[in-house]
Structure 1
């Protein structure tokens, strides 16, 4: 059994990951902000942990994640709150999480990032979206420069379709969409496959079982 701490545990990907990990016999600690989210997380089999990424400093976050085997960062502003919120959560929040992981001795760090082609080919992306992509890239750079045992996962366009646990994953693949449930399945497979380390992986929907696809990258 592994102890997995999920920053963004109340989000769509985080909830699905917590449920999949609990079913597999792991302990999923899901960080949440709002009191009404606690009961739903418990129903999924997660251990809810109250915390606000915007107010926690690195020591406070380190105290929460201490003893975990893996830290998953799936938090994101989701386009809400404009540039300031994106900078605070996707940018500074990631930096705080990296510092906290180092302080707590949690070396395995999985980051949900963004596919480089996201939003391209559409009419004039907004300044907010361009800022989002820039912040995501800088977060990738920050994590990749750390001494942590990191993996950066770049999913294609996220959908709420039911997942089937089958993906296309690689260091560079054609752009496409992917259900959030299958992003969670890919994260679960990475937790089961520690040999995949210090790699940037792109993922879309596909035909290969997630664990098999991830193991092929080891």
Structure 2
């Protein structure tokens, strides 16, 4: 059971929760959410976004946006993910989300065990999206936005089933990659997307 004040007051500081969605996907950006909740925030059913149905996430996301003191999203797109690796890209997206908040928090609660690059005080919380409502809210906003974005990407890059699996490495997605090759939405550095090192060595121009 969440305490409504559990994420918004700590040593008289405003707290923000931050979490990401899409880290393990083969396509699309990694999206981070950052949320500051009011002291009297009370929203039953708030938990880790992965434990909620898509319909429930949408309902909760609307309520979070309506009641939050401030919320924001940050992104890292496939090109950056391939260039700096998924961990660093996820942390960069978190930093961008927190920087975009209209209110500067005195403390940021980060889901997981990695801090993102920022001068703001941070506390990492493993499993925080199921423990702290502000992190859970951030998780829900990141997940719902990313899912909607993958619906749009499915129309732009048809044939991969992005609207169904949201970019995760399902068998249908991997089969489509073998047939079609990667689209501009794909992370070519991820296994199953780009050619294996041996395949890359065997390819020669003009042969």
Give TM class, smaller chain.
Answer: under 0.3
TM-score for both structures, normalised by structure 1: 0.26
- Greater CA radius of gyration, 1 or 2? 2
TM-score for both structures, normalised by structure 2: 0.27
Greater relative contact order (Cα < 8 A, sep 6+)? 2
